[in-house]
Amino acid sequence: MNKYLTIILVFVFLFSCENEENVIEPISLSENIEIYERDLISNDYIFVVENSSTYSYLINKEGYKIYEWNFETSSGNDLEILSDGSIIGLFKDNNATIDFGGFGGTGKIIDINNNTTWEYTVSDDNSIAHHDIEILPNGNILMMIWERIPIDEALANGVDFNTDIFTEKIIEINPTTNNIVWQWRSWEHIIQDKFEDLPNFGDINQNPEKININYSIDNPPGGSFFINGDIMHANGLDYDPINDVIYLSVNYYDEIWVIDHSTTSEEAQSSNGGNYNKGGDLIYRFGNPNTYNSLGTKIFDKNHFPNLLEDGVLGEGNVLVYVNGNSDEQSIIYELEMPESFNLQSNFNNEPNIIWSYINDDIFSGKLCGAIRLSNGNTLITESDFGLWEITYDGNIAWKYRKDETTNFIWRSYHYSPVGEVSENLGLLND
């Protein structure tokens, strides 16, 4: 018996030696990790952007913080890491007089030594930068602005409200000169169908490229922001360099507006010019056809982060959108196919095709949130009051990260390669 046992032990030893390279090493996971499916997760670092905070951090998939940032002032929501390791972001003006949720005031670029290398402030009694900031391929920077329209001017243009209102404006800044080189104002592209003897009167359905200025007033989203005159509440933008257009998420309209960036500032004030010859009118919009009484199904219910998929990821050219789902307290993430040519028609279903979606009974957050497409085709979902979910394309949960208890909300998350420029410039290649 001992003879046979010895032979068996020798065989086991030899077999284990031959297969030593296939042995799976144990992984140490942080207490923040709830699900970790080793064979399904993407190999990306995740930048966790805390909401309205002086603190944000980069984590690995084991849930450990590998790089941290501490800022002198709280973020005004969006932060991103540039290829050289700098942070571009929006930060709060502590003296802001317009302080709706998501307000910021100052755009900054902060280098890896915590030096501010660029700064631009929009914050006074009539306007403030808010929510999101975007750097363009030419180095210029887009900022979203809330613009006050005084009540007298609003009433004279057919707005059915009882106080000053705040509409959306986008500006493009040259960071070398800090000059505004382009701008678009939603106020210059409105329509109303209530007061025939006032400007901007028209048939809303026959003018889908125009913004019904009274839509959210007639369909109030609730909340103190709306009461204070914030009737649009855009919360995010993204830029498409191929088509030279801007995607703008407009929360109180439950839709995304597509704006032609190829116009001059003068053309952007009009309804002519630019690549689509519509000037600053909307060249496309989606998520809620009720805003212009057209055909199609409303699928958005408070939306965040219009994320154009780029750089060869799965679904390139499509747009990911996080729909908060406040009405029934159920969030859903959509991947939507953008049309080959942007075109809005009246009495027509202009809504995009749904390519992919994800819903989970445990995912709901009434504000913030977003979704990104990872390097392996998975989708990373930011559920702002919980943390992060990584979902495979066929709907399996690959990874689940619970935020720290001390973190109030997460604004968004972004991914960066462990062997890319960002990791190299942050000194993380050997981590």
Q: What is the DSSP string of 189-232?
A: GEEBSS-TTSTTB--STT-TTSEETTHHHHS---SHHHHTTB-S
What is the reported pLDDT for 18?
Answer: 46
What is the reported pLDDT for 4?
Answer: 39
What is the reported pLDDT for 223?
Answer: 78
What is the reported pLDDT for 10?
Answer: 36
Taking the C-alpha atoms of residue 244 and residue 260, their distance in angstroms, rounded to an integer, is 7
What is the reported pLDDT for 5?
Answer: 36
What is the reported pLDDT for 185?
Answer: 98
The pTM score is: 0.93
Full DSSP string of 109-137? EE-TTS-EEEEEE-BSSSEEEEEEEEE-T
What is the reported pLDDT for 149?
Answer: 98
Which single residue is written with the structure tokens 């502590």?
94
Smallest CA-to-CA distance from 51 within 95, 89, 97 is with 89
What is the reported pLDDT for 14?
Answer: 38
Counting every residue, how long is the chain?
431
10-residue averages of pLDDT along the chain (431 residues)? 38 43 76 97 97 97 97 96 98 96 97 97 98 98 98 98 97 98 98 98 97 96 85 98 98 98 98 98 98 93 98 96 97 97 93 98 97 97 98 98 94 97 92 47
- For 10-50, the three-class secondary structure string (H helix, E strand, C coil) is HHHHHHHHHCHHHCCCCCCCCCCEEEECCCCCCCCEEEEEE
What is the reported pLDDT for 430?
Answer: 63
pLDDT in tens, 307-344: 999 999 999 999 999 999 999 999 999 999 999 899 89
Smallest CA-to-CA distance from 334 within 318, 357, 317, 351 is with 357
What is the reported pLDDT for 22?
Answer: 55
Which single residue is written with the structure tokens 């191929």?
242
What is the reported pLDDT for 428?
Answer: 96
